[in-house]
Structure 1
Amino acid sequence: MAEQVKMEEIDRISDLHDSILIHILSFLSTKEAIKTSVLSTRWRYLFDLLPNIDFDLEEDLCRKNIKSYSTDVIENYMCSVDKMLLFCNTTNVNKFGFKCWIRMIGSDRFNGWISAAVDRGVKHLDLSTSVLPSSTLPIFTCKTLVSLKLGKYFVLNVPKDVHLPNLKTLHLHSVGFLNDDSVKGLFSGCPHLEDIVTRKCDLGKIRNFHISHHLLKTLTIRYSYNSFQCWLWINAPNLTSLEYYDRLVAGYSMENLQSLTKAVINISACKTFRADATTIFKGICDVPSLVLSDTSLELLLRCEPLPVFANLIRLDLPCHLRFRYSNPLQNGLETLLSSLAALEKLEFYQFSALFQRKCLLVCCINSRPSKLQTLQMKSIVLERPSIS
């Protein structure tokens, strides 16, 4: 019996190798992993070896059913971040994520965290906070950074010496730019950039949103603010995927998009048609797969002359067409469909009068019997594909 009790008292978990224990801790939140330091001297500094540091104040408080943000709660939370980044001996940080909407953190403290992560060779930064960082946010010369995600109220004053040699992914959510040079400097300072996403960014202080990059592969632009006076310039010879969900901006320049394989164009409703808006379609006319919202299709059909989509294999129109009774646009649609010599798959929403079987059969199947292979109509509202 004594031998059995002795066996039960053996702490087999603590005897495991550090790498195994760190793997176990990786399934906990960062703050929960820190709490394991009180278990024993064996666990005191294990959390220090975690490669991924991720703090989400809202999620943490929600899990504890805490509805108020007292000074003590916030300070305790900030001390946990200090403990991980400033007062420990971690040599490498793979990821540092921080999400907090409370304006109770000074910019100096916040910048100190970012500097510590950069000094430890951080590869992935994911920052969403109401903190208003200083213009000298210490990330723009980080040689180890592979992905950078910034959200909520950042105003990017990009320095002239910006150099992120290994950055491949850049996601910006609700971010503003100080001026045109900040936009140019940011993209030109990332020579290996492959993926850009902008969402709800404020373009009010810039006139030219210039995305020119020879290695860029995917670009997503969603719902910019104050963009009515801004020109969008895209020059990306290796771009394969373009998703554009936005209002019309002041103008477009689309160049060197010969590698594009898929484009999703969802332009919000506009009160008046502008001829310069058709430039966006002329720039993507070589694409083999195209998804258009109703307003985007209407803009396309108003182009004179219509762009020729010689390589278009798949066309997806997941929309109710508001111009269903407009004969000029219906004629334009017939002209467009009849000109798609390479079209193999056409998807559309059945409830639009323009897309009756007879019209489609006349425009497509009879004219291109050897090419069109799939004709798919969406007949149930709940199954309507969403492109928003």
Structure 2
Amino acid sequence: MDRISSLPDELLCHILAFFTTKEAALTSVLSKRWRDLFASVPNLDIDDSVFLYPEEGKREKEVVLQSFMDFVDRVLAVQGDSPIEKFSLKCQTGVDPDRVNRWICNVLQRGVCHMDLSIGLGHRYLLPSEVFVSRTLVELKIGSEFPMNLRPGHISLPMLKTLTLDSMWCYNGQLQVLLSACPALEELDIPNIRLSYGKEIVSSASLRTLTIDSSNFFHAFSFDTPSLLCLKYSELVAWDYPVVNLDNLVDSYQSYAANF
């Protein structure tokens, strides 16, 4: 007896949400009902390494890269404008940046709440500006070595509570520009971040957990985080800390390296 197919659609969609997108898509060949279920799955987990196997030279084959990009296009087309909860995208050099940005904008338009982006397309790649004007994002993770291009007044992330910036380049105080647009932010994790030299400040009235891991040297580093409860700070020691507002701090871990 096929007990799985007798389950209600809502439960089957919940089960499919734990699969990778490729695995979930394979179920659509079972029947028309399963095709419709796949179109309603609220999570997308897209990883080009699942398609571009680590066999020597396979990634460089244009037909394989094209097959991966066409697959993602088809998945998004099948789902139409159905709501989406989580979106994870991992892709490396060779994938078309314009298509990557269209995928990201597609899920943003569908009200995605949790987004995890690991995009290794080189230093010239820029995220679409729509990422930073979302009214639905609650969690945002960005992991890649490319610069952020942020303009004050063009950023708004009112619902964002968790932000991770891994191996990102932030120049000219852009980190603080971003934090100023996140009034509900509670957790900030910036491992391996590349910040501009000179003065840097982390200022947030709502922030409760802060993790910094960087090899930058700063003349001055300030913390204006009155609600912060937990601080993990691994960094070269700055010459000065002009502002240290940590009135509610209850847990901290510091690992410093001296400057000579």
TM-score with structure 2 setting the length: 0.89
- Cα deviation 1:26-78 (Å, max 9, x = unaligned): 232111111111122121232111111111223x258x664531322222222
Shift of 1:107: 2.1
Conserved 8 A contact 1:236-1:257:
yes
1:140 aligns with 2:132: yes
TM-score with structure 1 setting the length: 0.61
1:130 aligns with 2:120: yes
* 2:245 matched residue in structure 1: 256
Aligned residue identity for 2:132: F
1:158 aligns with 2:147: no
Q: Give the unaligned 5+ runs of structure 1.
A: 1-7, 273-388
1:266 aligns with 2:252: no
- Relative to 1, partners in 2 of residues 1:230 and 1:156: Cα closer, same or farther, differing over 3 Å? farther
Q: Distance in 2 between the 1:118 and 1:103 partners?
A: 23
- Relative to 1, partners in 2 of residues 1:153 and 1:87: Cα closer, same or farther, differing over 3 Å? farther
Conserved 8 A contact 1:237-1:258:
yes
Q: Distance in 2 between the 1:155 and 1:184 partners?
A: 15
- Cα deviation 1:251-294 (Å, max 9, x = unaligned): 323422110001101012x254xxxxxxxxxxxxxxxxxxxxxx
- Relative to 1, partners in 2 of residues 1:250 and 1:228: Cα closer, same or farther, differing over 3 Å? farther
1:176 aligns with 2:169: yes
Q: Distance in 1 between the 2:192 and 2:62 partners?
A: 31
Q: Distance in 2 between the 1:39 and 1:125 partners?
A: 29
* 2:209 matched residue in structure 1: 218
Aligned residue identity for 2:25: I
* 2:186 matched residue in structure 1: 194
Aligned residues: 255
Q: Give the unaligned 5+ runs of structure 2.
A: none
Q: Distance in 1 between the 2:141 and 2:186 partners?
A: 14
What is the aligned-residue identity percentage? 36
- Relative to 1, partners in 2 of residues 1:154 and 1:61: Cα closer, same or farther, differing over 3 Å? same
Shift of 1:121: 0.4
Shift of 1:99: 1.2
1:114 aligns with 2:104: yes
1:185 aligns with 2:177: yes
Q: Distance in 2 between the 1:41 and 1:140 partners?
A: 37
Matches within 5 A, 1:292-307: none
2:220 to 216, 231, 239: 231
Conserved 8 A contact 2:197-2:217:
no
Higher RCO, 1 vs 2 (CA within 8 Å, ≥6 residues apart): 2
Conserved 8 A contact 1:194-1:216:
yes
SS across alignment from 1:84? helix
RMSD: 2.1
- Cα deviation 1:308-367 (Å, max 9, x = unaligned): xxxxxxxxxxxxxxxxxxxxxxxxxxxxxxxxxxxxxxxxxxxxxxxxxxxxxxxxxxxx
* 1:275 matched residue in structure 2: none
* 1:344 matched residue in structure 2: none
1:40 to 31, 44, 63: 31
* 2:66 matched residue in structure 1: 75
Whichever of the two has the greater Rg, that structure is: 1
Conserved 8 A contact 1:232-1:253:
yes
SS across alignment from 2:183? coil
Matches within 5 A, 1:95-114: 95-100=86-91, 102-114=92-104
Conserved 8 A contact 1:230-1:251:
yes
Aligned residue identity for 1:170: L
- Relative to 1, partners in 2 of residues 1:104 and 1:137: Cα closer, same or farther, differing over 3 Å? farther
Conserved 8 A contact 2:144-2:168:
yes
